[in-house]
Amino acid sequence: MLSRDHAFKWPEQGIRIREANPMLRTASQNRLLRAAIACLLVCSFVFAATGTVSAAEKSKRSRKNFVPSPQVGKKLLKVQELAEDEDFQGALDILVPLSKKTRLKKFDKATVNQMLGYMLGAKEQYKEALAAFEVALAVDYLPDSAMQQLKYNLGQLYLGQENYDRAIQLFEEWLDGAERPDAQAHFMITIAYAGKEDWASGLSHARTSVDLSTTPVENRLRLLLAVEYQNGNILETLEVLKILVSLFPKKDYYMQLAFGYSNFGDEEKALAMLELAYQLDYLDKERELTQLSQRYLYHDLPWPASKVMAKGLDDGTVETTADNLALYANTLLHAREYQSAITPLAEAAELSLIGDLYVRLAQVHLEIENWTKARIALQAAIEKGGLRETGTAQLLLGISNYNEDRFLSARTAFLAAAEEEKTEDSATKWLKYVDRALRAEENQGS
């Protein structure tokens, strides 16, 4: 059977939160975030100042006045200017004391805290941003579109803080109120469910995030891969891996798909994936190359198996250990290249701590009727010791001596082999040949 020493390496259970959360990004991405915040501020303020809302919003919130008071409106205009200049601290200097006023109109309080959350988020003060957004949400006095955006932003922030329950609650509310839920929202909520290891609840969202994507997104496919696997959907997992290999060809995906096929019992497809990975120079570790060579042998393909090992040993990727040299020799033996197998097998036998590889070397010499070298190898095997089958070594030593006409030495070896149950019968038969040969020698001498 094929060796399964290489454990099947399925995908990671989740994706790092920082990869998915646009509120937690690199410095260059933060600049984009800040520009987006400034845009949001402009849109939010103009929307509020004009009181323009959709028909649906009018029907839901027709009694609410979405216009700031003159005093607050003036300060919000200044905040808008500072945000456009990316002077977020200056904006905070206005917003923080304003947010602490106790007699603000509901819309003023909601808008001030909403903007305060944006500014704090821009300065990466996420916990404080959460608190400000929560106040704005609790006031519940913003247009529907602004409330939706608020829930979405809060969900992202809670996701970054690993408060998965609250993130899920907010994203679910956002989905309930969204006319056209997008792929990213489903991706976010899947991450939250994955954070809780609630794989069953995350499955439909993971699939939807991929289905709604206008172009393939690797992170969404990777997350779907993990969720499908965690739900025990092996066929679906393999299908996602095939998509990843096709669209985003990377070593990890080839390896995962190969071992996925192997665990599913499709060894031919597993080998095909590893062959492709090898041709693309993805297999750059000793274990990967020896695994590929073993799989070739399993499929009775000794030539490619030997080429993989030869190249790996030659370029140093595969270390010249007893096991690796023995594997290389084994590939050559399967190809019936006995002479070529002798050198790596002899090196392996010398490096090994036990004598079994010397026995294997002797068997190769016996195959090509090199009796003397076979005898020398068997003597080395017995001297090194630790043999799994001492009787076999003695039996082969007797055969080597017999073919060299060293009958007394052969008789000694066969007697030792006859003491082992496994080789007793064969050794007894050989002893008859030896005794006959010895009698013939005596008769010639007389």
Between 53 and 304, whose confidence is greater? Answer: 304
**What is the domain count for the chain?**
3
Evaluate if residue 3 carries a pLDDT over 80. Answer: no
Between 26 and 225, whose confidence is greater? Answer: 225
Domain that holds residue 25: 12-179
The two three-digit tokens of residue 444, written as one number: 């010639």
Least confident of 306-310, 394-398, 436-440: 436-440
d(CA 313, CA 319): 6
User: Is 252 inside a domain boundary?
Assistant: no
pLDDT in tens, 229-284: 999 999 999 999 999 999 999 999 999 999 999 988 999 999 999 999 999 999 99
pLDDT above 90 coverage of the chain, percent: 80
User: Is 3 inside a domain boundary?
Assistant: no
Evaluate if residue 18 carries a pLDDT over 70. Answer: no
Q: Compute, in degrees rounded to 10, the torsion defined by CA atoms 285, 288, 293, 298.
A: 170
* DSSP states along 17-61: HHHH-TTS--HHHHHHHHHHHHHHHHHHHHHHHHT---HHHHHHH
**Tell me, what CATH number does 113's domain have?**
1.25.40.10
Write down the pLDDT at residue 67: 87
Q: Roughly what angle, to the nearest 10 degrees, separates helices 27-50 and 144-160?
A: 160
User: Is 299 inside a domain boundary?
Assistant: yes
User: Is 432 inside a domain boundary?
Assistant: yes
What are the angstrom distances between the C-alpha of 116 and each of 39, 47, 179?
15, 17, 27
Q: Does residue 314 sit in the same domain as residue 431?
A: no
User: Is 242 inside a domain boundary?
Assistant: no
Domain boundary among 351, 366, 386: 351
Average pLDDT of the chain is: 88
DSSP, res 286: H
Q: Does residue 314 sit in the same domain as residue 387?
A: no
Write down the pLDDT at residue 66: 81
User: Is 57 inside a domain boundary?
Assistant: yes
**Angular region, 265: left φ>0, alpha ψ -120 to 50, beta rest:** left
* Closest alpha carbon to 60 in 217, 187, 193, 177: 177
Model confidence at 68, in pLDDT bands (50, 70, 90)?
confident
DSSP, res 101: -
* DSSP states along 174-208: HHHH-SS--HHHHHHHHHHHHHTT-HHHHHHHHHH
**Tell me, what CATH number does 446's domain have?**
1.25.40
Q: Does residue 45 sit in the same domain as residue 132?
A: yes
Is the C-alpha dihedral spanning 331, 336, 337, 342 positive or negative?
positive
User: Is 36 inside a domain boundary?
Assistant: yes
- Contact in structure between 132 and 100 (CB atoms under 8 Å): no
Q: Does residue 19 sit in the same domain as residue 132?
A: yes
- What phi and psi, each to the nearest 5 degrees, are found at residue 282? -80, -25
Q: Does residue 128 sit in the same domain as residue 66?
A: yes
d(CA 200, CA 202): 5
Model confidence at 58, in pLDDT bands (50, 70, 90)?
very low
Domain boundary among 150, 179, 208: 179
Amino acid at 168: I
Domain boundary among 125, 156, 179: 179
Q: Does residue 331 sit in the same domain as residue 380?
A: no
Evaluate if residue 128 carries a pLDDT over 70. Answer: yes
Q: Does residue 396 sit in the same domain as residue 334?
A: no
Write down the pLDDT at residue 34: 47
**Which helix or strand (DSSP H or E) is residue 342 part of?**
helix 338-351
User: Is 117 inside a domain boundary?
Assistant: yes
The CB-side HSE value for 281 (13 A sphere, CA atoms) comes to 0
pTM for the structure as a whole: 0.76
Is the C-alpha dihedral spanning 264, 265, 266, 271 positive or negative?
positive
Q: Does residue 394 sit in the same domain as residue 303?
A: no
**Nearest 5°: CA angle at 63, between 60 and 64?**
90
